[in-house]
Amino acid sequence: GLLPVPDWLHPLPPDSSKPQLTSSEMIDFIDRNGCRETAEEAGRFVEEEVFPHIPCLIAVDHCLTGAVYRRVAARHAPEETALVILDSHTDAVPMSILAPAIQYDAENNPDSVHDPEDPLLYGRPDSYNASSFLYNLLVEGVVLPRNLYLLGISDYPPKNAFRLKDERINTYVHFYRELKNAGVTLVPKDELLSSPSRVRRILEGIRTSHLYVSVDMDIGARNALEGVRFLDRQGLNEPQLFRLIGYLREVLDRGVTLAGLDLTEFNPRKAGLDQTYPIAARIIKNLVASVCSQAL
């Protein structure tokens, strides 16, 4: 099925939407929890139109994952529904913590990809959006910390950040400590590449009856593919990505049930010009193949 959204929110909006295509309109939409309202529509669609089948969401904004997972976890119980995220970004940091850290980077890092004049960085309330939806799921008890796995993240604070005296960075790194202390599994990209066997062991430790897999396609940005919204972090190459998918396939092959799947953060202006769509299709095929084999 197809979830309708307002024209101006389309990845390729029509010319008639130009008056709404401003930073102020987008900021207002995010700050009044427009992302959450749209995500909830996706969740209701899955509940009413997809269940009892396994949902497979193809989307632009990663925040839609939250509402779909909420329905899946309610169906199978949060205690029995692991959530594995493949992403270059953590997507669990509220704006009140993330924005000041970005401001620090823009002010002090000559190689920063951030613009210190970006209006998205100032005076923002915490809201449900693509960079914070996992935080909301944790706070609301939708996903249990021990059942949340973030693999391949490239924005994990570097070692020197833990020694800085700036309050903005101290708050940021402390938040990551809190995530880990709560039981969330965070595997930075460098660690994933240097010790793939450890990642495999982590996934072998999943003991829930069900598994939801969410793939932010920027996990391969500027490496395996280019057709994604955010290219600020270099992700995995194709063999590295499919080695990780293979580990997830092993989890399913040993009897854990695939409860849902999504692929997000496509940039339709670019995704059809390279291997982005074929790689996405191959990810789906590899994971769904386990479901087919279990049904035989």
Q: Is the dihedral of CA 213, 216, 217, 221 positive or negative?
A: negative
Structure token pair of residue 133: 């939806």
Phi, psi dihedrals of residue 203, rounded to the nearest 5°: -70, -30
Can you give the pLDDT at residue 291? 78
Place of tokens 């949902």: 55
Q: Is the dihedral of CA 278, 227, 7, 65 positive or negative?
A: positive
Q: DSSP string of 134-172?
A: HHHHHHTTSS-GGGEEEEEES-SPPGGGGG---HHHHHH
**pTM confidence score:** 0.96
* pLDDT for residue 294: 64
Please report the pLDDT score of residue 257 as a whole number. 97
Residue at token pair 């509402």: 67
Q: Which residues contact 16 (CB under 8 A, 6 or more apart)?
A: 7
Q: Strands, E, within the chain: which ranges? A: 56-58, 81-86, 148-153, 185-188, 210-216, 257-264
d(CA 88, CA 220): 8
Q: Per-residue pLDDT tens for 266-275?
A: 999 999 999 9
pLDDT value at residue 78: 98
Question: How many angstroms separate the CA atoms of 155 and 92, rounded?
Answer: 11
Q: Which of 11, 43, 58, 3 lies closest to 267 in space, CA to CA?
A: 11
Q: What is the pLDDT along the chain (296 residues), one digit of tens a residue?
A: 899 899 999 999 999 999 999 999 999 999 999 999 999 999 999 999 999 999 999 999 999 999 999 999 999 999 999 999 999 999 999 999 999 999 999 999 998 988 888 888 889 999 999 999 999 999 999 999 999 999 999 999 999 999 999 999 999 999 999 999 999 999 999 999 999 999 999 999 999 999 999 999 999 999 999 999 999 999 999 999 999 999 999 999 999 999 999 999 999 999 999 999 999 999 999 999 977 766 65
- Domains of the chain as residue ranges with CATH: 15-295 (3.40.800.10)
